[in-house]
């Protein structure tokens, strides 16, 4: 399997996703769109991952490359590629499907519970997840909910934490990929995000959190996603070949 990811900042890395991909022997390639790299063509990947970043989709004039990413996501969805968006990437998927990015009711920075909706109980990617589980959050915004999408998760601070569009497209506002090393880099580059709030953790509490278990859940989600692909859902996702 060929996995391509779009990276938006030097400190927003694959983390646990890279560990999992290497363990499976999958090919990994990257476009650093913030550096001006050209987005790939569809033939270059089977699975597109759109990472998080500090950019704001309300400022496309400031970050014009995000418009190219939105177009690529639209093409990938139409081609029935696997598409996964994380944080900013989730918002890009929402925009690609016609749903504008929204301010989250609360800034969330830290490890806080996520709760699955009733619609998530039969979801193939989440069947091994508990109804409520801890995840890492680092955001001010959230994706809009596109027409035809199924809301899968929410948190106390953010009502749109995860949605599915068809069976090959998932948008996840929270983070399960971030390792302690990535968290350290985020704190270094974005210290202003740690200003106190109802859903903002201190540095001490962040590093005391069980990041390993969160990373393991990222592995489980990726395994379920790619297993479905391997079983023959590529041409018409949802109907086995």
Could you read off the pLDDT of 98-139 as tens digits, one per residue? 999 999 999 999 999 999 999 998 898 998 899 999 999 999
Q: Compute the Cα dihedral for 59, 170, 4, 41 and give only its sign.
A: negative
- Please write the tens of the pLDDT for every residue from 208-218: 999 999 999 99
pTM of the model: 0.94
Is the residue at 239 inside a domain?
Answer: no
φ, ψ for residue 166 (rounded to 5)? 60, -150
Is the residue at 11 inside a domain?
Answer: yes
Is the residue at 86 inside a domain?
Answer: yes
Is the residue at 12 inside a domain?
Answer: yes
Is the residue at 126 inside a domain?
Answer: yes
Q: What percent of the chain has pLDDT over 90?
A: 91
The count of domains in the chain is 1
Q: Domain limits at 226?
A: 2-233
Alpha carbon separation from 7 to 32, 35, 67, 199 (Å, rounded): 5, 9, 14, 26
Q: What is the mean pLDDT of residues 19-24?
A: 96
CB of 149 closer than 8 Å to CB of 185: no
CATH number at residue 127: 3.40.50.880
What pLDDT, on the 0 to 100 scale, is given for residue 230?
Answer: 64
Beta strands in the chain (DSSP E): 2-7, 27-32, 47-50, 82-86, 102-116, 132-142, 150-154, 162-165, 169-172
68 Cα distance to chain centroid: 18
Q: What is the mean pLDDT of residues 48-67?
A: 96
Is the residue at 238 inside a domain?
Answer: no
Is the residue at 240 inside a domain?
Answer: no
């Amino acid at each position: 399997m060929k996995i391509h990811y779009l990276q938006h900042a030097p400190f927003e890395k694959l983390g646990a996703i890279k560990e999992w991909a290497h363990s499976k022997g999958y090919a990994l390639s990257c476009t650093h769109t913030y550096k001006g790299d050209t987005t790939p063509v569809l033939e270059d990947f089977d699975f597109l991952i759109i990472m998080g970043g500090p950019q704001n989709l309300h400022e496309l004039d400031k970050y014009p490359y995000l418009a190219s990413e939105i177009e690529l996501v639209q093409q990938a969805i139409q081609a029935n590629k696997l598409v996964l968006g994380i944080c900013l990437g989730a918002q890009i998927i929402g925009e690609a499907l016609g749903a504008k990015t929204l301010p989250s009711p609360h800034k969330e920075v830290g490890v806080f519970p996520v709760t699955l909706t009733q619609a998530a109980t039969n979801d193939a990617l989440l069947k091994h997840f508990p109804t409520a589980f801890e995840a890492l959050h680092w955001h001010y915004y959230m994706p809009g909910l596109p027409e035809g999408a199924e809301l899968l998760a929410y948190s106390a601070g953010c009502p749109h934490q995860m949605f599915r569009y068809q069976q090959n497209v998932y948008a996840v506002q929270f983070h399960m990929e971030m390792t302690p090393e990535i968290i350290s880099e985020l704190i270094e580059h974005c210290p202003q995000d740690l200003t106190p709030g109802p859903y903002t953790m201190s540095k001490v509490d962040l590093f005391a959190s069980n990041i390993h278990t969160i990373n393991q859940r990222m592995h489980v989600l990726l395994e379920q996603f790619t297993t479905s692909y391997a079983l023959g859902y590529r041409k018409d996702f949802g109907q086995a070949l």
